[in-house]
Structure 1
Amino acid sequence: MSGETAQPTRPARTKSQRRLTPARMFAYRLAVYLGAFILEVLWRTSRLKLVGLERLEALLKEQGAVVPVFWHQHLLMAARFMCSNRIEGMKPGFMISPSVDGQAPTMLAELYGAHVVRGSGSYTGVRAVRGVYTAIVKEGISPTITPDGPRGPRFKMKPGAIFTAQISGKAVVPIAYAASPARLLSTWDKFVIPWPFARLRIAIGEPYFPPKRMSDEEMVAAQEELERRLHETFKIAERALAE
């Protein structure tokens, strides 16, 4: 993880009063290494094709960084894609919940060398905003955001990614994937896990450039537009899978 600002903080407790105890940290470490092993098996055995990669690389070359977004449902393989060496000019980063629930994902992201800013998918706090701005503008890091995470509602765009793009002057880039065979977990987000050796198609959608200033009504319209673009990006991945 690069940079000296926006170091991931370890919250003592959440609203549920859970504490980040040494025992919990030990359990998280075990889970992270096991999760990384499983993720590598799925990623390295997948039959991967990318759709629209040149669009993402052109934006990175032009802007230095972007604000990638994908639904929480697509977190597994889309996040691994962000940390791969398949994207020229990409310095991966993630905005992860500051709660105890975000500690294990933070550790996993750091294991892959990604920059982490602890913040939320809604309008972030001052410290998170400062960390995001520094990461993007000064260090060229592209902080990925799951705009409906970490608990939903599913497929509803929160304003955090748009706000991040506004303060940094970068584009919001929708990403989605489709896989077969794959399993949808019975969780709120219908989390997608491909089987080993699955066909995997990752699509990069149409970027969105938000204006610097927006009214509340314009922000709602921007959220709806990005929801549309994310759904369309998934359809692109689905069509590529069917070919």
Structure 2
Amino acid sequence: MSLARKIRNSPAVVNLGVTLASRLIAGWIRLCQATSRWEVVGLDEADAAMAKGPIVAIIWHECSLMAPAHWPRKHGTVTTLSDTSPIGRTSAAVQRRFGMGSTGVPEKGGAVAATRDVLGRLRSGVSVGLTGDGPVGPARVLKDAPLDWARAAGVPVFVYAFAMSRAKRLKTWDKMMFPMPFSRGAVVYRKFSDPLPRRMEADDLAVVRADLAKALTEAVEQAEAMVSRTSDRQAPR
């Protein structure tokens, strides 16, 4: 192994990179949050649900950058899951800078460890935020785990999305929305209303999975429509 590769793979160098990157990203998120005008719907309902106990909040991965600034934490702690890659560790570090918890999921035995961790946290009263299609996609294709965990824990499920007038779509697998400051923004929380019994027939589970994926996409579309309406109202006549 070359010296340059050894340096790049050094734990100290990786840790330094995670620290610096998370500091820059968190600072950018705070700048975008503070300099933009936001319209928010559904947050009161999410807060009211968290006042009674933990919730599961699910988002499409494309909406994950601004989520740390928008998660409802008024009535309790929110934690998330991330993989142990440098990108995953950076994401977790950003979330911690906003007061959120984050658990790294190892590559080996990750599914079992994640299930144990998520259910343990929910049963202890800690809410959990999850990407429905993350961390590697395909985009807007709902994974089984978020729905299975919500059913097993028996807690309310909310979907989240944001949109901004000046957000850029990155050339990533999820076309992630990259926020820009001095924008008009919208935040949407919606309670997922389908019943989620622990035991379900395969056909019923497929229907609920499709409904949840639809609710996630509709939340994104609602946020985008809110920003568009605001832009139309402010356009010169």
Tell me which interval the TM-score lies in, with the shorter structure as reference length.
0.7 to 0.9
SS of 1:49's equivalent in the other structure is strand
CA shift for structure 1 position 19: 5.7
Partner of 1:200: 185
Mapped to 1, the partners of 2:216 and 2:115 lie a distance apart of 24
SS of 1:205's equivalent in the other structure is strand
User: 1:195-234 residue pairs with structure 2 within 5 A?
Assistant: 195-208=180-193, 209-234=195-220
CA shift for structure 1 position 100: 4.5
Please identify the structure whose Cα radius of gyration is greater.
2
CA contact (8 A) 2:68 2:100 kept: no
Mapped to 1, the partners of 2:200 and 2:21 lie a distance apart of 42
User: 1:28-39 residue pairs with structure 2 within 5 A?
Assistant: 28-39=18-29
Q: Which has the higher helix share?
A: 2
- Do structure 1's residue 76 and structure 2's residue 80 form an aligned pair? no
Mapped to 2, the partners of 1:93 and 1:22 lie a distance apart of 26
CA contact (8 A) 1:45 1:197 kept: yes
CA contact (8 A) 2:14 2:86 kept: no
TM-score, length-normalised on structure 1?
A: 0.82
CA shift for structure 1 position 96: 1.3
SS of 1:174's equivalent in the other structure is strand
Q: Root-mean-square deviation (CA), in Å?
A: 2.2
CA shift for structure 1 position 65: 1.0
Partner of 2:79: 93
SS of 1:201's equivalent in the other structure is strand
CA contact (8 A) 2:29 2:179 kept: no
CA shift for structure 1 position 179: 0.9
Q: 1:228 to 1:185 in 2, by over 3 A?
A: same
- Do structure 1's residue 236 and structure 2's residue 227 form an aligned pair? no
CA contact (8 A) 2:46 2:191 kept: no
The number of aligned residues is: 219
- Do structure 1's residue 103 and structure 2's residue 89 form an aligned pair? yes
TM-score, length-normalised on structure 2?
A: 0.83
What stretches of structure 2 of length at least 5 have no aligned partner? 1-7, 231-237
Mapped to 2, the partners of 1:124 and 1:80 lie a distance apart of 27
- Identity across the alignment (%): 27
CA shift for structure 1 position 233: 1.4
- Do structure 1's residue 44 and structure 2's residue 64 form an aligned pair? no
SS of 1:125's equivalent in the other structure is helix
Deviation sequence 1:26-47 (CA, Å, 0-9, x none): 1111111111111111111121
State the AA in 2 paired with 1:28. V
Match of 2:56 among 47, 67, 82: 67
Q: 1:89 to 1:188 in 2, by over 3 A?
A: same
CA shift for structure 1 position 115: 1.6
What stretches of structure 1 of length at least 5 have no aligned partner? 1-17
- Do structure 1's residue 146 and structure 2's residue 135 form an aligned pair? no
Q: 1:93 to 1:20 in 2, by over 3 A?
A: farther
Mapped to 1, the partners of 2:133 and 2:212 lie a distance apart of 12
CA contact (8 A) 2:22 2:94 kept: yes
CA contact (8 A) 1:95 1:118 kept: yes
Q: 1:148 to 1:47 in 2, by over 3 A?
A: same
- Do structure 1's residue 55 and structure 2's residue 45 form an aligned pair? yes
